[in-house]
Amino acid sequence: MPVKLVPNIEELRFKAEQIEGLVTPPASVEERDGRRRKRSLAERRQDWHGRVVDAVLDLSNSMPQGVEDYDVRKLLEQVVALRRLLDADPEARDADGEIDLATMKTADIARRLHRRLVHDQLDDPQVAVRMVLSGLEQVSVTDIARLLGVSTRTVRSWQGGNPVRQNAARVVLIAQLLSYLRSSMTAVGVMLWFDAERAQLSGRTPFELLETDVAGAYEQLIDLARGSRAQLAG
């Protein structure tokens, strides 16, 4: 049974990720995505900036608060600042790094907005546990219980709709990780991901990190999950 979360949240997250992709290397460098085209630097930059503006406007039109949303407003302010820098000297190679700095600031705002959308969706443990159970329905109850750090009896209780009273922070984190991993992995692949040793975690597995420090594991595991999805998608 599909999980109904915040209306259009997946679409909003996708749009935020599009912006982030445009203003993060390699799209934000490497000749502004025009290296193989016979165009001037000014033309390539104009094309790149136009796509950034279109993506930001598309997101703002989809957000419930539109341009009144704080992060959307900051994104619009930043793309205007970028336009001024590009227009100031169209053929410059950004020797002082101002364009790259403005681009990085835009990427930071897009990442912040994306994280907020994820939080809005899955901060509620009840919503989070429904997503976990739905996303891992092909996995045994025993394996789900191990992942969530609870008993199989508790998992069956949650399957029956009972409230989450144990390991709520861990349930929320697992759901957020699944929101990245399930787009490019099977349920079995997700379970293998949690048990694979990672150099980024000093040789530990994501599961081992969960077992020792859920709060401290958040940023590391979210970054790892996003990176894993990007590698598979590429």
State if pTM tops 0.85.
no
**pLDDT of residue 224 exceeding 50:** yes
Question: 31: phi > 0 → left, psi -120 to 50 → alpha, else beta; which?
Answer: left
Asked, for residue 22, whether it belongs to a domain, the answer is yes
- The residue from 121, 151, 184 where one domain ends is 121
In angstroms, rounded to a whole number, what is the distance separating the alpha carbons of residues 213 and 197? 17
pLDDT tens per residue across span 25-40: 766 764 444 455 567 7
In angstroms, rounded to a whole number, what is the distance separating the alpha carbons of residues 232 and 234? 5
**C-beta of residue 226 within 8 angstroms of C-beta of residue 177:** no
Asked, for residue 2, whether it belongs to a domain, the answer is no
The boundaries of the domain holding residue 200 are 125-233
pLDDT of residue 195: 96
Could you tell me if 115 and 131 lie in one domain?
no
pLDDT tens per residue across span 82-130: 999 888 877 667 778 888 899 999 999 998 888 787 767 788 899 899 9
pLDDT of residue 29: 62
